[in-house]
Amino acid sequence: MSGTACVCQEIECREIEIDYNQLDKIIRDDYGGNKETMIMMMQAIQRVYRFLPEAALKYLSQVIDVPLTKIYEVATFYASFSLEPKGKHILTICTGTACHLRGSGGMVRHIAERMGIEPGKTTQDLKLTLETVNCVGACAVAPVAVMDEKYYPKATIATLNDFMDRLDAE
Amino acid sequence: MRVLNIILNGKAVTAREGQTILELAQENGVFIPTLCHSPALEPAAMCRLCTVQVIEGGRAKFVTACNFPLRRDAEIRTDSPEVRHGRKLIIELLMARCPSSPELQRLAVEYEADLTRFSSLNDDCVVCGLCTRACEAVTGKTLSLAGRGTAIHVSTAFAKISDFCIGCGACVQICPVQKISMEDVDGERHILLHGKIVSQVKLPRCKSCGKYFGPVIDLEKVMDRMGEHLIPPPNADTCPECSRHNLAVKLGKRYFEQYGVFREEGQADAG
Amino acid sequence: MIEATQTALTPSEVTKIMSTEALAEYRQKLQAQYDPNAPMIYVCCGTGCQAAGSVDVVEKFREILVGSAWDGKVVPMIKPTGCHGFCSRGPLVIIEPQDIFYQRVTVNDVQEIVEKTVLNNELIKRLQYKSAGAKESITKASEIPYYAKQTRLVLKNIGRVNPTEIGDSIIRNGYAALAKALTQMTPQQVIDEVSSSKLRGRGGAGFPTGLKWESCAKQEGLRYVICNADEGDPGAFMDRSLLEGDPHSVLEGMAICAYAVGSHRGYMYVRAEYPLAVKTLTTAIRQAEALGLLGKNIMGTGFDFEVTISTGAGAFICGESSALMASLEGKVGRPRPKYIRSVEKGFRDSPSNLNNVETYANIPSIIANGGNWYKSYGTERSSGTKVFALTGNVFNIGLVEVPMGISLMEIVFGIGGGVPNKRALKGVQTGGPSGGCIPIPHKIPDINVGYGKLAEVGSIMGSGGMIVMDEDTCMVEVARYFVNFLVEESCGQCTPCREGLTRMKEILDRITQGDGREGDIELLEEIGKFTNNFSLCGLGTSAANPVLSTIRYFREEYEAHIRDKKCPAGVCKKLFHYEIDPDICTGCGLCKSKCPVKAISGEKKKVHVIDQSLCMKCMECYKNCKFRSVKIM
Ligand SMILES: Cc1cc2nc3c(=O)[nH]c(=O)nc-3n(C[C@H](O)[C@H](O)[C@H](O)COP(=O)(O)O)c2cc1C
Ligand code: SF4
Ligand code: FES
Ligand code: FES
What is the end-to-end Cα distance of chain B in Å, rounded?
Answer: 37
The residue whose C-alpha atom lies closest to atom 17 belonging to ligand 1 is: C320
Question: Residue C36, exposed/middle/buried by CB under 10 A (0-12, 13-18, 19+)?
Answer: exposed
- Around ligand 3, the residues with Cβ closer than 6 Å are A 94, 96-99, 135-139, 142, 144; C 234-235
Cβ–Cβ gap B140/A67 under 8 Å: yes
- Confidence class for position B217, pLDDT limits 50, 70, 90: low
A95 to chain C: which residues are within 8 Å by CB? 234
Tell me: do C350 and C404 sit in the same domain. no
At residue B224, does pLDDT exceed 70?
no
Kindly state whether residue C158 falls inside one of the protein's structural domains.
no
Chain C residue nearest residue B62, CA to CA:
C533
B157 to chain A: which residues are within 8 Å by CB? 67-69, 71-72
pLDDT tens-digit series, residues C206-252: 999 999 999 999 999 999 999 999 998 888 889 999 999 999 999 99
Tell me: do C450 and C520 sit in the same domain. no
Domain limits of chain A? 2-77, 89-169
Query: pTM to 2 decimals?
Result: 0.91
pLDDT mean over C267-282: 93
Cβ–Cβ gap B146/A68 under 8 Å: no
Residues of chain B with CATH 3.10.20.740: 3-110
Portion of chain C with pLDDT greater than 90, in percent:
82
B3-110: CATH class: alpha beta
pLDDT mean over A95-102: 89
Q: What is the pLDDT, as a whole number, of residue B266? A: 45
Q: What is the pLDDT, as a whole number, of residue B221? A: 55
Kindly state whether residue C157 falls inside one of the protein's structural domains.
no
Tell me: do C213 and C355 sit in the same domain. yes
Tell me: do C128 and C56 sit in the same domain. yes
Tell me: do C323 and C233 sit in the same domain. yes
Tell me: do C393 and C352 sit in the same domain. no
Residue-averaged pLDDT of chain C: 93
Architecture of domain B130-202 in CATH? 2-Layer Sandwich (3.30)
Cβ–Cβ gap B67/C337 under 8 Å: yes
Contact B132, B39 (CB under 8 A): no
A89-169: CATH class: alpha beta
Ligand 4 atom at minimum distance from B128 CA: 4
Kindly state whether residue C57 falls inside one of the protein's structural domains.
yes
If DSSP states are collapsed to H, E and C, what string results for chain A?
CEEEEEEECCCCEEEEEEEHHHHHHHHHHHCCCCHHHHHHHHHHHHHHHCCCCHHHHHHHHHHHCCCHHHHHHHHHHCCCCCCCCCCCEEEEEECCHHHHHCCHHHHHHHHHHHHCCCCCCECCCCCEEEEEECCCCCHHHCCCEEECCEEECCCCHHHHHHHHHHHHHC
- Confidence class for position B233, pLDDT limits 50, 70, 90: very low
Residue among C26, C23, C57 at smallest CA distance from C43: C57
C237 to chain A: which residues are within 8 Å by CB? 135, 137-139
pLDDT tens-digit series, residues C1-27: 344 344 444 455 568 999 999 999 999
**Cα–Cα dist C537/C337, whole Å:** 8
Q: What is the pLDDT, as a whole number, of residue B186? A: 85
- Confidence class for position A14, pLDDT limits 50, 70, 90: low
Tell me: do C43 and C124 sit in the same domain. yes
pLDDT tens-digit series, residues B66-95: 999 999 999 999 999 999 999 999 999 999
Q: What is the least distance, in Å, from the CA of C493 to any CA of chain B?
A: 6
Which range of residues forms the domain containing residue C253? 173-375
Contact C319, C203 (CB under 8 A): yes
Kindly state whether residue C536 falls inside one of the protein's structural domains.
yes
Lowest mean pLDDT among A141-150, C430-439, C502-511, C540-549: A141-150
Q: Is B34 near ligand 4, meaning CB less than 6 Å away?
A: yes
Tell me: do C350 and C412 sit in the same domain. no
pLDDT mean over A133-144: 86
Per the model's pLDDT, the better-predicted residue between A77 and C47 turns out to be A77
Residues of chain B with CATH 3.30.70: 130-202
Q: What is the pLDDT, as a whole number, of residue A15? A: 61
Residue among C200, C195, C490, C566 at smallest CA distance from C320: C490
Q: How many angstroms separate the Cα of C52 from the Cα of each of A144, B180, C48, C391? A: 11, 55, 6, 17
Q: Which of A38, A106, A152 sits opposite C330 (nearest CB)?
A: A38
Kindly state whether residue C569 falls inside one of the protein's structural domains.
no
Tell me: do C479 and C466 sit in the same domain. no
pLDDT mean over C521-548: 97
Residue-averaged pLDDT of chain B: 86
Q: How many domains does chain C have?
A: 5
Cβ–Cβ gap B164/A67 under 8 Å: yes
Core vs surface per residue B66-103: b (16+ CB within 10 A) or e: bbbebeeebbbbbeeebbeebbbbbbbbbbbbbeebee
pLDDT tens-digit series, residues C466-495: 999 999 999 999 999 999 999 999 999 999
Ligand nearest to the CA of C228: 1
pLDDT mean over C153-159: 94
Kindly state whether residue C153 falls inside one of the protein's structural domains.
no
Kindly state whether residue C162 falls inside one of the protein's structural domains.
no
Q: Which of B68, B117, B148 sits opposite C339 (nearest CB)?
A: B68
- Confidence class for position B260, pLDDT limits 50, 70, 90: low
What are the residues of chain B with a beta carbon less than 8 Å away from any beta carbon of chain A?
Answer: 139-148, 151, 155-158, 162-164
Tell me: do C520 and C403 sit in the same domain. no
Kindly state whether residue C168 falls inside one of the protein's structural domains.
no
